[in-house]
Amino acid sequence: MKSPYRLSSALRPTGLLLTSALSLALLAATPAQAAPPTDAQVDKLMQTMNYERMKREIVQQMNGSAQGMAEAMAGNKLSPAQRQSLQRSMDKIMARADQLLAWENVAPIYHKVYRDTFQANEVQAMIDFYGTPEGRSILEKMPKAMGQTMQEMQPLMKKMFEQIQQDLQKDIRQITDEAPPAPPAPPVPVSVPEPPPVIVNQGQ
């Protein structure tokens, strides 16, 4: 009959194998730490999403806003020649904006934001999706959908702000009417002047 010590010693290799197998299983079941996307992945995603087209749309929106601002500031005071000069100035401003938004200038910003926000597999999933015909079609239609959404929401937003204004006016009236009256000011102390001293003329 083997002693307990010898039996335990005989089982040691099997125990080590079981422990190793269990450790490997746990490591396999533990998800790997999520890795941030690389700069090349972000570059690829922006290329797939057609950043240049998005940039042109941004500059066009800026141009429209700037044109409206210039018209409001100048009014009807400009002659045709002056308006042409103003347009040349606007073209230069928009050219600078276009250059400022060039990918080589904004790439560090996108790299940081996407590293801080997304995982590498998520960025790859976006690359795969926007590279499909359906993904490209969605990208093409999204600006139109957003613009139409804002246009359709304008009556609702107008109604909402009107209701907010009415509620605020009502609450302000209630607050001012229910406020307790201010306490009366304390009476101002009245000082009584002392009578002048009586001077006795001893020479009389």
Cα gap 51→106, rounded to integer Å:
11
Give pTM, 2 decimals. 0.60
pLDDT in tens, 152-177: 999 999 999 999 999 998 888 888 88
Predicted confidence band of residue 121 (pLDDT cuts 50, 70, 90): very high
> For residue 49, which of 114, 119, 115, 93 has the smallest C-alpha distance?
114
For residues 34 and 5, give the distance between their C-alpha atoms in angstroms, rounded to a whole number: 46
Identify which has the larger pLDDT, 72 or 97: 97
Of 123 and 13, the one with more pLDDT: 123
Tens of pLDDT, residues 31-78: 445 799 999 999 999 999 999 998 998 898 888 888 888 878 877 777
| More confidently predicted of 185 and 193 | 185
Q: What is the pLDDT of residue 126?
A: 96
- Answer for the pair 18, 102: CB distance below 8 angstroms, yes or no: no
The pLDDT score that the predictor gives to residue 182 is 64
| Residue 128 neighbours by CB under 8 Å, 6+ apart | none
Q: Specify the residue for token string 């006795």.
A: 200
Q: Can you read off the two tokens belonging to residue 5?
A: 């010590």
Mean pLDDT across 107-133:
96
Structure confidence at residue 31 (pLDDT): 46
Give the model's pLDDT for residue 179: 61
Closest C-alpha to 48, from 142, 143, 141, 125: 125
Residue 102, pLDDT > 70, answer yes
Mean pLDDT score of the chain: 78
Helix segments in the chain, DSSP class H: 4-29, 39-48, 51-74, 80-100, 103-117, 120-130, 133-178
Please say whether the dihedral angle defined by the alpha carbons of residues 170, 173, 176 and 179, taken in this order, is positive or negative.
negative
Q: Which pLDDT does position 63 carry in this prediction?
A: 87
Who has greater pLDDT, 128 or 61? 128
Query: Is the pLDDT score of 16 beyond 90?
Result: no
Higher per-residue confidence, 176 vs 184: 176
Residue 60 corresponds to which tokens in the numbers above? 């066009």
pLDDT at 188: 56
